[in-house]
Structure 1
């Protein structure tokens, strides 16, 4: 059987533990709010880079339609005509432009190579008609 003194000591200990748990909950909530707020504030800011290295860059418009591809020769887009991807490999680097329907409408290409000790290079600019 517990005495009044023991009950008072137990109540004080329980109150102290309850205050500690309440403080822990408040601190955890504040930390969560701070982290979530920082994440959302950062998400809206545009990224700025001094330099970026990619093998291929796809530019899309607001609805996700591909508008431009900038790529090296190993990752160049094969092209799309009438909604069908052309089954071809392009051994050129450059830009390919696409219209509102996602079809290729032109581009800029560059290529250079050394073959049998001779240097060879070419470039092209294409504008497709609709």
Structure 2
């Protein structure tokens, strides 16, 4: 009897082992294992594809990456903020979400910002929702821009921060002339620094052609402008 029972137990153990091994193998292949955490403190989180391609970074200021192009990280000329950066299938930055704000030693607010942007492929942002404050001057709104068709000079921008101001200007002028860098404003809707609310529409060269504005005192008007910036017609509540 004991020998028969022993054989049954051995057989049962083998079945259970097979089932568990299969379950663990299936879980490993499907990637369905989920860890639940109540709270964590981190300085940076990287989200990657299974092949290692970086798709998202959530970071504090110190560990925020520079300019990443196809997986290579180049120094950023002026990025100093915390937030989230998004990357396309090639591992190149294509948008972000950042926030910041600080006071000086006297308690005065010297800078505050919130920024959500969407980048053109291998270029800078073409759609941005932004709030900015500097020394009491505030501007908030949605901006739409055109960017050059060519890719940004990613590798060369990595050396930009080490140059003297005059050399930096010369390099920027060169990139703009080569149509690898530049910003052509096309539309803005929001609040301007003079506390007016405005809608600005510009042509393909970035020249304002229609301005719809309500000033802080309530005065409202729609202005049409020529290529030189001269107002050719104004429509207002008092115009005929």
TM score, norm. by length of structure 1: 0.58
Pair 1:95-2:94 in alignment: no
Provide runs of 4+ in structure 1 moved above 4 Å.
36-45
| Greater helix content | 1
> Within the alignment, does 1:65 sit opposite 2:56 as a pair?
no
Alignment equivalent of 1:51, drawn from 38, 63, 66: 38
The yes-or-no answer on 1:74 pairing with 2:62 is: yes
Structure possessing the higher relative contact order (Cα contacts under 8 Å, 6 or more residues apart): 1
Task: Determine if contact 1:113/1:121 at 8 Å carries over to the other structure.
Answer: yes
Are 2:104 and 1:115 equivalent residues in the alignment? yes
The alignment of Structure 1 onto Structure 2 pairs a total of residues equal to 115
- C-alpha distance 54-41 of structure 1, shift in aligned 2 (>3 A): farther
Give the distance between the partners of 2:114 and 2:81, measured in 1 at CA. 9
* C-alpha distance in 1 between matches for 2:94 and 2:63: 19
Q: CA deviation at 1:114?
A: 1.7
1:63 CA displacement: 1.7
Tell me which residue corresponds to 1:125. 116
Which structure shows the bigger proportion of residues in strand conformation? 2
Write the distance in 1 (CA, Å) between the matches of 2:70 and 2:50: 21
Instruction: Find the structure with the greater CA-based Rg.
Output: 1
Quick check: 1:91–1:111 contact (8 Å CA) kept in 2?
Answer: no
**Cα root mean square deviation, aligned:** 3.6
Once residues 113 and 103 of structure 1 are traced to their aligned partners in structure 2, the CA distance between those partners, rounded to angstroms, is: 30
Gaps of 5+ in 1: 1-32
Aligned CA distance change for structure 1 residues 38 and 52 (closer, same or farther; 3 Å): farther
Gaps spanning 5+ residues in structure 2: where? 1-17, 125-146, 152-240
